Amino acid sequence: MGSFEGSALPDGEAEITDKRLLRGARTRESILRHAVDLGSLEGLDNLSFGRLAAEAGLSKAGVQTLFKSKEALQLATVEYARRMFIDAVIRPARSASPGVARLRALLEHWTTYATAPLFAGGCFRAANLADFDSRPGPVRDELFRQQQEWNATIAGELRHAMAVGEIAELDAELAAFQIDALLCAANTALRMGDDDAVDKVHRIVEGMLRPPVR
């Protein structure tokens, strides 16, 4: 099970020098920025070439030329949301020391990601997993892969914290699963107006980070 730590992090337009290709990349990015907001609010099933064309000020044919099929559009949207998540949550936390400090940084940046929010409908993955959990196919597989990446990242920091004696022994994979489930629940609570959800997350997670008995 891979984590975000081993993932290539795209640099967007950095290596595109051809002006025509650059325009195409920017058009694609504009469409996907609308798509992730719509996907977080109404789900990936509600993405359509026509609606995205209208929101981005483009022709339906132009959008369809870029993405070919609805499934291709959905997959591109899921990957774009992943890149935005990495930029908002994973990258900033890397400046913290591995272990407890980095785990806390990940949770702080996730809190900003969910409460600002980065996507109009809150956490993109949480908004779409339930719609695809029983629907085999590439979109479900990619959403699940991203969930596994996130869980592996959390588990890795917990294992490091145990190895250096910051926290008592625990089942890192189980604890990561619990933290991810807690964050998904908090995302829903935040969308419903529960402003105490973030405090509850911190209290529960801090309870997991007990120091070892000396």
Q: What is the 3-state secondary structure (H, E, C) of the chain?
A: CCCHHHCCCCCCCCCCCCHHHHHHHHHHHHHHHHHHHHHHHHCHHHCCHHHHHHHHCCCHHHHHHHHCCHHHHHHHHHHHHHHHHHHHHHHHHCCCCCCHHHHHHHHHHHHHHHHCCCCCCCCHHHHHHHHHCCCCCHHHHHHHHHHHHHHHHHHHHHHHHHHCCCCCCCCHHHHHHHHHHHHHHHHHHHHCCCCCHHHHHHHHHHHHCCCCCC
Please state the pTM of the whole predicted model. 0.86
Q: Which two tokens stand for residue 79?
A: 């990957």
- Per residue of the chain (214 residues), give pLDDT as tens: 567 655 544 444 445 556 667 776 888 898 999 999 999 999 999 999 999 998 888 889 989 989 989 999 999 999 999 999 999 999 999 999 999 999 999 999 999 999 988 998 889 998 999 899 889 999 999 999 999 999 999 999 999 999 999 999 999 999 999 999 999 999 999 999 998 999 999 999 999 999 998 7
Rounded CA gap, 130 and 31, in Å? 24
